């Protein structure tokens, strides 16, 4: 657990607030643990931006639109059961699958680049 961190380990569970971004870039794979707790999941965006593949559980309902896009383009691994994690980790650590998932996930995010500017332009056009 991050809260008990004293020396590097092969697996780190970040159970602290406000530090996820700092640790994500050091990960080989990010597993969104909250996605198995039926609480809507957690955003995979920081991991994708850092070039780290992501594994989630069945509940990513707070990010359903993004998840639909990521899943349709093989940009994320979503598992139904926690017991499937070891196999999924092996697949992602072996190279080609990892790189393909990272590229696909990044392509999904890239399509949203500039979205805030486009929204502001649309809103302003209503008042002109």
What pLDDT, in 10s, does the model give residues 48-95? 999 999 999 999 999 999 999 999 999 999 999 999 999 999 999 876
What is the pLDDT confidence band of residue 4, given thresholds at 50, 70 and 90? low
What is the pLDDT confidence band of residue 119, given thresholds at 50, 70 and 90? very high
How far is 101 from 88, CA to CA, in rounded Å?
Answer: 12
How far is 58 from 40, CA to CA, in rounded Å?
Answer: 9
Alpha-carbon distances of 93 from 55, 70, 98, rounded to whole Å? 12, 19, 6
Full-model pTM = 0.82
The pLDDT assigned to 17 comes to 63
Average pLDDT over residues 82-111: 93
With beta carbons less than 8 A apart as the criterion, state whether 35 and 57 touch. yes
How far is 116 from 75, CA to CA, in rounded Å?
Answer: 23
**Cα 128 vs. chain centroid, distance in angstroms?**
39
**Which has the higher per-residue pLDDT, 14 or 89?**
89
**DSSP character at residue 94:** T
What pLDDT, in 10s, does the model give residues 17-53? 666 777 788 889 999 988 999 999 999 999 999 999 9
């Amino acid at each position: 657990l991050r809260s008990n961190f004293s020396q590097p380990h092969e697996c780190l569970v970040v159970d602290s607030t406000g530090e996820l971004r700092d640790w994500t870039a050091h990960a080989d794979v990010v597993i969104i643990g909250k996605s198995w707790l039926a609480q809507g999941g957690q955003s995979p965006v920081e991991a994708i931006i850092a070039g780290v593949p992501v594994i989630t559980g069945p509940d990513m309902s707070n990010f359903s639109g993004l998840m639909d896009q990521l899943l349709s383009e093989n940009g994320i691994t979503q598992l139904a059961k926690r017991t499937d994690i070891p196999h999924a980790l092996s697949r992602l650590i072996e190279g080609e699958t990892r790189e393909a998932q990272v590229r696909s996930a990044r392509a999904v995010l890239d399509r949203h680049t500039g979205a805030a500017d486009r929204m502001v332009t649309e809103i302003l056009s209503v008042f002109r």
